[in-house]
C-alpha cells in the first residue's frame, strides 16, 4: 500500500539530509520564486529587458520518465543578445558511469562522470543561476521533465519548470519550412554550432536561435514574455510544429 503522504515525507527527508548551507540557499530560492509567481512579474517583463536562460541537458538516455541528468549547460540572453560572459556548466557526479553507447553520444567519459560535481550543490547553483529568468530549450518537455525529477530526487523539492519550447515557437514565427531538428534550424539561419551533444554547446545553439525568434516575435507585435507564452500556446492548440 502506497501512503498518500509518502512522496512528501521522502522529499522532506531529502531536504533535511542536505548540508545546512545548501538548505539555507535552497530556502532562499524557494521564497524568491514564490514571490515572482505570486506577482506574475516574470511574464509581464518586456522582451528587451528580460533575461532568458537557454538550457540543454545531457542524460543517461532518451527516456524522460527514468533517465538521469549527467550534465547541465545554460547560456543567458540579455538585452536581446547572447551574453557570452553569463553561462553555466556542470557535470553531475554519477554513482556509476553510463553505457558505452551513451558515452559515445555525449562524449562525457566514465571518469568524468564518476568525478563530477556534487549533484545537490550543482543543482542549487543552477537554480541560483536561472532565478528570475525565462527558461528556453529545444524540445523543452524532455529537459523540463528530467530536470524536475532530478531536483526532486537530489534536493527534495517539487518544481514546475516551465520552459519556452523553441521547437514549437520557431515554426509558429517562421511558418512554411520543413525544419524539424535543431540542426535544421541552425542551418536555416546560417548559424554554425560550436559542437553537438554537449550541454553547453547545445545551450549556446539554443541561445543563438532565440535571437531571430525574438526579432520575429517583436515584428509580430509581441512585447512581453507573456506574449511568447501565448504564441506557443496557440501553436500547440493548432497542433502544428511546422
Residue 142 belongs to a domain: yes
Task: Indicate if the pLDDT at residue 3 is higher than 70.
Answer: no
Task: Please list the residues that pair with 28 across neighbouring strands.
Answer: none
More confident residue, 72 or 8: 72
Tell me the per-residue pLDDT of 202-241, one tens digit each, with 9 for 90 and over.
999 999 999 999 999 999 999 999 999 999 999 988 775 5
| pLDDT on residue 197 | 73
Residue 71 belongs to a domain: yes
Please list, residue by residue across 94-103, b when 16 or more beta carbons sit within 10 angstroms of its beta carbon and e when fewer do.
Answer: beebbeeebb
Which 3 state secondary structure label does DSSP give 5? coil
**Could you tell me which of 73, 84, 79, 41 has the C-alpha nearest to residue 214?**
79
| pLDDT on residue 1 | 44
Mean pLDDT of the chain: 90
209 φ/ψ angles, rounded to the nearest 5 degrees: -70, -25
CATH of the domain at 115: 3.30.420.10
Share of the chain above pLDDT 70, in %: 93
Look at the chain and report how many structural domains it folds into.
Answer: 1
- Give me the helix-helix angle, 166-173 and 225-238, nearest 10°: 80
Residue 172 belongs to a domain: yes
Average pLDDT over residues 195-208: 90
Residue 118 belongs to a domain: yes
Residue 1 belongs to a domain: no
Residue 160 belongs to a domain: yes
More confident residue, 78 or 241: 78
Share of the chain above pLDDT 90, in %: 68
Residue 123 belongs to a domain: yes
| pLDDT on residue 110 | 81
230 φ/ψ angles, rounded to the nearest 5 degrees: -65, -40
| pLDDT on residue 236 | 87
Q: Which domain holds residue 106?
A: 6-238
| pLDDT on residue 160 | 83
Residue 68 belongs to a domain: yes
Which 3 state secondary structure label does DSSP give 179? coil
Task: Indicate if the pLDDT at residue 49 is higher than 80.
Answer: yes
Dist. CA 54–CA 168, nearest whole Å: 15
Dist. CA 198–CA 71, nearest whole Å: 8
Tell me the per-residue pLDDT of 118-169, one tens digit each, with 9 for 90 and over.
999 999 999 999 998 999 999 999 999 999 999 999 999 988 888 999 999 9
Phi-psi region of 82 (alpha: psi -120 to 50; beta: other; left: phi over 0): beta
- Could you tell me the pTM of the whole model? 0.91
Helical spans, DSSP H, in the chain: 6-16, 20-39, 100-106, 110-114, 119-130, 140-155, 166-173, 182-188, 199-219, 225-238
Amino acid at each position: 500500500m502506497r501512503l498518500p503522504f509518502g512522496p512528501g515525507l521522502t522529499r522532506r527527508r531529502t531536504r533535511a539530509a542536505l548540508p545546512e548551507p545548501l538548505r539555507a540557499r535552497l530556502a532562499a530560492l524557494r521564497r524568491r520564486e514564490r514571490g515572482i509567481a505570486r506577482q506574475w512579474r516574470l511574464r509581464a517583463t518586456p522582451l528587451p529587458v528580460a533575461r532568458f536562460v537557454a538550457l540543454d541537458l545531457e542524460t543517461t538516455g532518451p527516456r524522460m520518465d527514468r533517465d538521469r541528468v549527467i550534465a547541465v549547460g545554460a547560456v543567458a540572453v540579455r538585452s536581446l543578445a547572447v551574453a557570452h560572459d553569463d553561462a553555466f556548466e556542470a557535470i553531475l557526479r554519477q554513482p556509476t558511469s553510463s553505457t558505452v553507447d551513451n558515452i559515445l553520444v555525449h562524449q562525457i567519459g566514465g571518469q568524468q562522470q564518476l568525478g563530477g560535481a556534487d549533484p545537490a550543490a550543482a543543482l542549487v547553483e543552477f537554480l541560483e543561476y536561472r532565478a528570475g529568468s525565462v527558461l528556453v530549450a529545444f524540445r523543452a518537455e524532455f529537459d523540463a521533465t528530467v530536470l524536475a525529477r532530478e531536483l526532486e530526487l537530489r534536493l527534495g523539492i517539487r518544481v514546475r519548470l516551465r520552459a519556452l519550447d523553441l521547437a514549437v515557437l520557431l515554426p509558429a514565427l517562421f511558418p512554411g519550412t520543413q525544419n524539424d531538428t535543431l540542426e535544421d534550424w541552425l542551418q536555416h539561419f546560417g548559424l554554425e554550432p560550436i559542437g553537438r551533444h554537449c550541454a553547453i554547446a547545445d545551450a549556446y545553439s539554443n541561445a543563438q536561435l532565440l535571437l531571430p525568434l525574438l526579432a520575429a516575435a517583436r515584428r509580430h507585435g509581441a512585447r512581453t514574455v507573456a506574449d511568447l507564452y501565448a504564441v506557443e500556446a496557440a501553436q500547440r492548440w493548432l497542433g502544428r510544429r511546422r
